[in-house]
């Protein structure tokens, strides 16, 4: 992943962002065509596998337990229902599934073992699997990679300067570490941010500067517009103009020519013309389906109509990287082996109890 060496300072990025709009879009469209097929747009589906009750205080997020929002909290979904949802998403043309959990961090427990099974199952459906589960250790990243994870989403959200105005329960540095852990495990990195949280334009390009400073910038950069949710501290934020979204997409596209720029949350507040300019300016992915994680998204049919009118084609899976190979997970294999041994011991004991002259004795089961 190479960056555009013409724009590696905050000043040059700021100048770019503030260019006359159509000049900016033209420059972005030119860069886009050099590196990507301009007709292809990936349809990704989001699935909230664990919703609400999160201990963090991200000011934009309806899933933080401390804010009183209408989100229906639920514990981790079953592997079977995830497979069913993934099959539906695939049938509707999505080539990527992003599973989100309202966790501060991944813990090494049964829930994570189940997520590992989900990743393997969705990869087996030939879909790109992305997860966004909060902070991640290197070892956990390796387990996800082995299961067949294609990408890990962990957003920096905004500039290092504005970050403390948005979140206090986790540091910018923590986020950088998680991204680094995913990177070390060989997982494709998806990391971006949100505009419309009351930040200055300097913070928007400051976010891009953080990616400029990485040894390898993210392969995928989602650009979200704040979805202001009742009950969160940002509920009363004035919605941004769609021109700001177009500028942010275009600036990101020019600065990171090889990355996939994702037009993410906030499309319900945009019209088709605004979205068309985002595609022109280099966005090549949308979230499809009428729900993001917890908030509304345009209807499927509406998006299909937009694709038809704009002449866009849904991008196939693994167009930007090879399909990961799913390998058996050592921890889960060990657990299954023990469960099998226990079942055999119990069956044996049950059978012995039916024999004549049986004397009950204490059996120590495999732990």
Catalytic residue of the set 120, 130, 247, 278: 130
- Which segment (199-207, 219-227, 311-319, 340-348) binds ligand DTB by CB under 6 A? 219-227
Closest C-alpha to 126, from 100, 102, 94: 94
Give the one residue of 100, 257, 289, 324 binding ligand SAM; rule: CB under 6 A: 100
Cα–Cα distance between 142 and 330 in angstroms, integer?
11
Is 98 a residue of the active site?
yes
Residue 206 binds ligand SF4, judged by CB under 6 A: no
Residue 89 binds ligand DTB, judged by CB under 6 A: no
Closest C-alpha to 144, from 319, 329, 335: 329
3-state secondary structure of 115: helix
Is 61 a residue of the active site?
yes
Is 278 a residue of the active site?
no
Is 130 a residue of the active site?
yes
| Cβ distance to ligand SAM smaller for residue 3 or 49 | 49
3-state secondary structure of 337: helix
Could you tell me the smallest distance in angstroms from the CB atom of residue 292 to ligand DTB? Answer: 3
Give the one residue of 102, 197, 208, 212 binding ligand SF4; rule: CB under 6 A: 102
Instruction: For the beta carbon of residue 273, count every other beta carbon within 10 angstroms.
Output: 8
Report the partner that residue 98 touches, choosing among ligand SF4, ligand SAM, ligand DTB, none (CB closer than 5 to 8 A by kind): ligand DTB
Structure tokens at 195: 């505009």
- Which segment (14-22, 59-67, 116-124, 298-306) binds ligand SAM by CB under 6 A? 59-67
In angstroms, the Cα distances linking 354 to 73, 187, 341, 359, 360 are: 48, 54, 20, 10, 11
3-state secondary structure of 50: strand
Cα–Cα distance between 81 and 89 in angstroms, integer?
12
Number of chain residues interacting with ligand SF4 (CB under 6 A): 9
Structure tokens at 284: 């090549």
Could you tell me the smallest distance in angstroms from the CB atom of residue 323 to ligand DTB? Answer: 21
| Cβ distance to ligand SAM smaller for residue 27 or 210 | 210
| Cβ distance to ligand DTB smaller for residue 208 or 265 | 265
Q: Are strands 283-288 and 40-50 parallel, antiparallel or unpaired?
A: parallel
Catalytic residue of the set 190, 247, 253, 278: 190
Cα–Cα distance between 37 and 206 in angstroms, integer?
28
Tokens 């540095």 correspond to what residue? Answer: 173
Cα Rg of the chain (Å, integer): 23
Report the partner that residue 226 touches, choosing among ligand DTB, ligand SAM, ligand SF4, none (CB closer than 5 to 8 A by kind): ligand SAM
Number of chain residues interacting with ligand SAM (CB under 6 A): 18
Residue 227 binds ligand DTB, judged by CB under 6 A: yes
Alpha helices of the chain — where are they, by DSSP H? Answer: 10-17, 21-35, 79-91, 110-124, 138-147, 172-184, 201-212, 242-255, 272-280, 300-310, 330-354
Give the one residue of 227, 246, 249, 280 binding ligand SAM; rule: CB under 6 A: 227
Binding-site ranges for ligand SAM (CB under 6 A) = 60-61, 63, 100, 102-103, 132, 134, 154-155, 157, 194, 224, 226-227, 229, 265, 293
Binding-site ranges for ligand SF4 (CB under 6 A) = 54, 56, 58, 61, 63-64, 102, 104, 134
Catalytic (active-site) positions: 54, 58, 61, 98, 130, 190, 262
């Amino acid at each position: 992943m190479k960056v555009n060496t013409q724009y590696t300072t905050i000043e040059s990025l700021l100048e770019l962002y503030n260019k006359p709009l159509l000049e900016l879009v033209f420059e972005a469209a030119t860069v886009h065509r050099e590196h990507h097929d301009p007709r292809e747009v990936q349809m990704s589906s989001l699935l909230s596998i664990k919703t609400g009750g999160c201990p963090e205080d991200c000011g934009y997020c309806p899933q933080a337990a401390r804010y009183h929002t209408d989100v229906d909290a639920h514990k981790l979904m079953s592997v079977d229902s995830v497979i069913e949802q993934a099959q539906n998403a695939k049938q509707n043309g999505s080539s990527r599934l992003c599973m989100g959990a309202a966790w501060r961090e991944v813990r090494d427990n049964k829930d994570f073992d189940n997520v590992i099974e989900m990743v393997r199952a969705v990869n087996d459906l030939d879909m790109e699997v992305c997860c966004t589960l909060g902070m991640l250790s290197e070892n956990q990243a390796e387990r996800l990679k082995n299961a067949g994870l294609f990408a890990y989403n962990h957003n920096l959200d905004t500039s290092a300067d504005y970050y403390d105005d948005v979140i206090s329960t986790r540091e910018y540095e923590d986020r950088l570490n998680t991204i680094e852990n995913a990177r070390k495990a060989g997982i494709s990195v998806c990391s971006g941010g949100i505009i419309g949280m009351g930040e200055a334009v300097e913070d928007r390009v400051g976010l891009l500067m953080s990616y400029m400073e990485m040894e390898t910038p993210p392969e995928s950069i989602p650009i979200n517009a704040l979805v202001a949710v009742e009950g969160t501290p940002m509920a009363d934020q004035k919605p941004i103009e769609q021109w700001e979204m177009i500028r942010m997409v275009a600036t990101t596209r020019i600065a990171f020519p090889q990355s996939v720029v994702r037009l993410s949350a906030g499309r319900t507040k945009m019209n088709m013309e605004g979205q068309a300019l985002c595609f022109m300016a280099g966005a090549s992915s949308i979230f499809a389906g009428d729900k993001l994680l917890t908030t509304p998204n345009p209807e499927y049919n509406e998006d299909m109509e937009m694709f038809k009118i704009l002449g866009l084609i849904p991008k196939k899976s693994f167009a930007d990287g090879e399909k990961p190979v799913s390998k058996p997970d050592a921890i889960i294999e060990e657990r299954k082996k023990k469960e099998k041994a226990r079942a055999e011991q119990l069956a044996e004991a049950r059978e012995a109890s039916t024999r004549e002259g049986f004397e009950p004795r204490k059996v120590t089961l495999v732990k």
